[in-house]
Amino acid sequence: MKMVKSLILGSAAGLIAMSGAQAADLPVKAKAVEYVRICSLYGAGFYYIPGTDTCIKLGGYVRVDLALNGGDYNPYLNGVGGAQNRQSNYFVSRARSDLTIDTRTATEYGVVRTFSDLIFSWTTGNYAQVGGATPGTAYDASGTNVGSYNLGMYHAFIQFAGFTMGRTVSAFDAPWQSYPAGGPDSIPGGSNHVTGVNQFTYTAQFGNGVSGTLSAQDPTQQNQSNLYNTSYATSAGFIAGSYGLNNFGGTRAPDLIAQLRVDQAWGLFQLAAAAHNNHVAYYGATEPTGHPADKWGFAVQASLSIKNVPTGPGDSINMDAVYTDGASKYNFQNLFPQNFAMYGGTGVAGAYQSIGVGAVADGIYSGTTAATGTGIETVKTWGFRGGYTHNWNPNWASAIYGGYAQLRYGGASKALICANNLALVGMPIANCNPDFNFSVIGVNTVWTPVKNLAFTADLNVSRLDQKYSGVIAAPVGVAVSKPAAVYELKDQTGVSMLIRAQRNW
């Protein structure tokens, strides 16, 4: 009996050991894979980031541009392009890749959102003379001017509980910025911060599509035009469209924006106002020379969009109008050139060519010391722009657009500028008026053969209506290979075209 008991216990122990060994050889159960889940809270394209309650959406586009007789995308209004000679490119090309990242998280305080938009571009540049005052001495073809890579950040902001903190479009902007129905970057008649501006903004929703916004935004990069000290004007500067030393000091105050907006099924209406501080450094090179007092400027803008007009489904009309005093970039906006120097032909006997010059500015003053200096006189402007888009069918759409703006210098500013012009280039006071008008009109057609792939052809005409008259004795224009000669002061016209292919994703 004792022997049988020992045999049974031994057999059981052996079976337990064998089963343990077999169990050890079995694969361990894998942890469940956490698949990416669709997030339907914020529209199509959002997914939950694995392991979190945050939703993310990736997007962007690849764009290829060919601009004829213009930059990308501006007509030639100054510099090498405005010279209209053998240095000017007949065409400019650009390849761009854009990436957007949108994240959103639902919280007890509402949705927390972050958004970023990064662009990567290669754009053709221009040749520029670098070797002395003799035309043709040497040109920079090293790549510095003939093309460049560009990394940009158009948007990077956080939104929380009605606040927007970071870089994005301005609350002052119309929703279409400078593109009421497409068109070039150089349409005047309102602000344009499509490349973003740093800001701290609060928006309140009042219901029924009505909202109000207060914003403080950094003016340093986007909203400061020229602030000229005419005591430092030169003849070379004049023919480049400059009236002296652009002498902004350090930023002392943000631009303050207020906006009221109504969004309805029929479209939208928006009214915006901005206050802008003009702060000069010094009259001279050092602190003891003194400085003029700061001068605040302002801008007001009204915008209107009408959707689904009777001409067809999806057709729209966009328009806005603006007035500025000491805040000119809210009309001649951030992507608009702030100086004109456009050359053309002439019928005046003895004149080499014609030239149209002009300058956008926030204010004008003069002086090298406090004893001789003046205060800032602000510059006034007004303008409007609009566009109409018609959809022929789901694959074809056409548009017509335009913009017009006037700039007016005050009496004291004109006296300072014209006294310099007489001394520098021999322009009679009777022929001197630095005011100007600028207009753009254009048409485009967009073909969308498949969803998110579009081909665009856009043609526009620009007109500089400058108020100078007669002739001037201009110095050598080294950078644009223009000789010292007599030039007729004359209005100028530019024609440019854009051909674009773009794939959104």
pLDDT digits (tens, 9 = 90+) for 234-253: 999 999 999 999 999 999 99
SS3 223: coil
**How many Å apart are CA 425 and CA 405, to the nearest integer?**
27
| Structure confidence at residue 138 as a pLDDT band (50, 70, 90) | very low
Res. 352: pLDDT tops 90: yes
SS3 21: helix
**Helix and strand numbers, DSSP H then E, in the chain:** 4, 27
pLDDT of residue 143: 41
Rounded to two decimals, what is the model's pTM?
Answer: 0.89
| Structure confidence at residue 327 as a pLDDT band (50, 70, 90) | very high
**Ramachandran assignment for 378, one of left (phi > 0), alpha (psi -120 to 50 degrees), beta (any other):** beta
Which residue has 């050889």 as its token pair? 25
Higher pLDDT, 72 or 6: 72
What angle is formed at CA 490 by the lines to CA 328 and CA 182, rounded to 5 degrees? 50
Give the domain ranges of the chain.
33-504
Higher pLDDT, 133 or 355: 355
**How many Å apart are CA 231 and CA 371, to the nearest integer?**
13
Average pLDDT, the chain: 90
What's the whole-number mean pLDDT along residues 399-412? 98
SS3 269: strand
CATH for 33-504? 2.40.160.10
pLDDT of residue 74: 81
Least confident range from 67-71, 289-293, 434-438: namely: 67-71
**How many Å apart are CA 373 and CA 390, to the nearest integer?**
55
SS3 126: coil
- Going by their DSSP bridges, the two strands 295-307 and 267-278 should be labelled as antiparallel
What's the whole-number mean pLDDT along residues 264-277? 97
Contact (CB, 8 A) for 201 and 211: no
